[in-house]
């Protein structure tokens, strides 16, 4: 079958300006040549430390920020070439859920108004119809009609995220980009929201891109997982392969930090030296070479291609594709 979404060579460079005239003095390559596709009904996890470009990737796909270059095909149309009006229509089909539901819900609006808004924008003019739809959506996410007249501050973090999800579902989207939707929540609440999201996927045949900074969060929910480092995708494969047979040294280090529930399994924690380098001035060659325990001479010079090492398993590392 054909992918719902195809991202090819996506780039988002932010200019760095300085001085009184705001002259451009450099740029941050927040997303630098990222490619992947998402099949209908799939959950693709995207993982990486803060500043790796995962959120920028999500926002660029929806054109909440305009990408610098590349192609984003949704149902075979390159949405980066769509005029604004067409893009607005397409927004029905593509939604985003943010990390901090509180920041994304207008505190002065009732839940009713918050969830009604996208309905109104996309043409549901009848207020009685909207009211009914809001109540239906609240029930779908485990709240009820009684909550409609309340304000965001009257809810817990988990409930607020349910409101955010209800709003995202309002116009029956096909794709939802979930940008760290549980990162701000308590661990017990995280599981409830993840379960809800899985149920909703089944119920409404949704496709998710699930962004997280932690491999343990996406393990449960993803079909495939991509790992990003300093604006690039460094590994992408099925969940099984990624967790059982990771190839990229960065993925291995991230995985070694995931707590192991089985106490009989002893894991050696791989501690990376140094911090993530400044994205304004990324290392040459493989951007991970300054922290990689296995770095070789070539790694400082030549950027490894993101290439398949076996079926459905892409890695950007000279240990695996050093024949370039």
Q: What is the rounded distance in angstroms from the CA atom of residue 48 to the CA atom of residue 268? A: 20
Q: What is the rounded distance in angstroms from the CA atom of residue 68 to the CA atom of residue 88? A: 20
The region of 51-59, 126-134, 264-272, 293-301 touching Mg ion under the rule CB under 5 A is 51-59
Interface pattern 244-263 for ligand SF4 (x via CB under 6 A): ----xx--------------
Least Å distance between CB 238 and Mg ion?
A: 24
The single-letter DSSP state of residue 147 is G
Q: Residue 143 or residue 295: which is nearer to ligand SF4 going by CB?
A: 295
When binding is defined by CB under 6 A, the residue of 270, 296, 307, 309 that contacts ligand SF4 is: 296
The region of 54-62, 70-78, 195-203, 313-321 touching ligand SF4 under the rule CB under 6 A is 313-321
Q: Measure the CA angle with vertex 74, ends 73 and 77; round to 5°.
A: 65
Both structure tokens of 268: 């050696």
| 113-121, Cβ contacts within 8 angstroms, sequence gap of 24 or more | 114/152, 114/163, 114/167, 115/148, 115/163, 115/166, 115/167, 115/170, 117/167, 118/167, 118/170, 118/171, 119/170, 119/171
Question: Which residues in the 264-293 window bind ligand SF4 by CB under 6 A?
Answer: 286, 288-289, 292
When binding is defined by CB under 6 A, the residue of 36, 304, 306, 314 that contacts ligand SF4 is: 304
Q: What is the rounded distance in angstroms from the CA atom of residue 271 to the CA atom of residue 211? A: 23
DSSP string for 161-204 = HHHHHHHHHTT--SEEEEESTTTTS-HHHHHHHHHHHHHHHHHH
Least Å distance between CB 291 and ligand SF4?
A: 8
294 binds, among ligand SF4, Mg ion, none (CB under 5 to 8 A by kind): ligand SF4
Q: Residue 133 or residue 160: which is nearer to Mg ion going by CB?
A: 160
Contact 272, 291 (CB under 8 A): yes
98 binds, among ligand SF4, Mg ion, none (CB under 5 to 8 A by kind): none
Q: Residue 164 or residue 304: which is nearer to ligand SF4 going by CB?
A: 304
Q: Measure the CA angle with vertex 311, ends 250 and 317; round to 5°.
A: 30
Does residue number 169 form part of the binding site for ligand SF4 (CB under 6 A)? no
3-state secondary structure of 36: strand
Does residue number 16 form part of the binding site for ligand SF4 (CB under 6 A)? no
Least Å distance between CB 298 and ligand SF4?
A: 7
When binding is defined by CB under 5 A, the residue of 55, 56, 60, 222 that contacts Mg ion is: 55
Q: What is the rounded distance in angstroms from the CA atom of residue 135 to the CA atom of residue 7? A: 36
Does residue number 318 form part of the binding site for ligand SF4 (CB under 6 A)? yes
Does residue number 185 form part of the binding site for ligand SF4 (CB under 6 A)? no
53 binds, among ligand SF4, Mg ion, none (CB under 5 to 8 A by kind): none
The region of 39-47, 167-175, 205-213, 314-322 touching ligand SF4 under the rule CB under 6 A is 314-322
When binding is defined by CB under 6 A, the residue of 82, 90, 270, 319 that contacts ligand SF4 is: 319
Contact 282, 273 (CB under 8 A): no
Q: What is the rounded distance in angstroms from the CA atom of residue 128 to the CA atom of residue 186? A: 36
Does residue number 236 form part of the binding site for ligand SF4 (CB under 6 A)? no
Burial label for 31, CB within 10 Å (0-12, 13-18, 19+), is buried
Q: Footprint of ligand SF4 on this chain (CB under 6 A)?
A: 248-249, 286, 288-289, 292, 294-296, 299, 304, 317-319
Q: Footprint of Mg ion on this chain (CB under 5 A)?
A: 55
């Amino acid at each position: 079958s054909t992918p719902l979404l195809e991202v090819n060579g996506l780039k988002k460079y932010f200019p760095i300006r300085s001085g009184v005239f705001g002259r451009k003095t450099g740029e941050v390559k927040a997303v630098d040549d990222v490619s992947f596709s998402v099949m209908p009904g799939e959950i693709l996890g995207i993982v990486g430390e803060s500043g790796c470009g995962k959120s920028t990737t999500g926002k660029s796909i929806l054109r909440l920020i305009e990408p610098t270059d590349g192609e984003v095909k949704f149902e075979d149309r390159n949405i980066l070439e769509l005029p604004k009006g067409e893009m607005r229509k397409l927004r029905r089909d593509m939604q985003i859920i943010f990390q901090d539901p509180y920041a994304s819900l207008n505190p002065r609006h009732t839940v009713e108004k918050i969830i009604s808004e996208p309905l109104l924008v996309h043409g549901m003019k009848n207020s009685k119809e909207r009211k009914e739809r809001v109540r239906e959506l609240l029930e779908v996410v485990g709240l009820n009609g009684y909550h409609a007249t309340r304000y965001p501050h009257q809810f817990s973090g988990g409930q607020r995220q349910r409101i955010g999800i209800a709003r995202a579902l309002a116009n029956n989207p096909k794709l939802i980009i979930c940008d760290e939707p549980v990162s701000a929540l308590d661990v017990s609440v995280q599981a409830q929201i993840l379960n809800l999201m899985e149920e909703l996927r089944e119920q409404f045949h949704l496709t998710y891109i699930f962004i997280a900074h932690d491999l343990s969060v996406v393990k449960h929910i993803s079909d495939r997982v991509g790992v990003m480092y300093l604006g690039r995708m460094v590994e992408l494969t099925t969940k099984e392969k990624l967790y059982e047979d990771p190839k990229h040294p960065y993925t291995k280090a991230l995985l070694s930090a995931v707590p192991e529930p089985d106490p009989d399994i002893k894991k050696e924690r791989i501690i990376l030296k140094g911090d993530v380098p400044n994205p304004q001035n990324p290392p040459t060659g493989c951007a991970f070479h300054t922290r990689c325990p296995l770095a070789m001479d070539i790694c400082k010079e030549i950027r490894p291609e993101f290439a398949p090492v076996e079926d459905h398993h892409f890695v950007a590392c000279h240990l695996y594709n050093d024949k370039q």
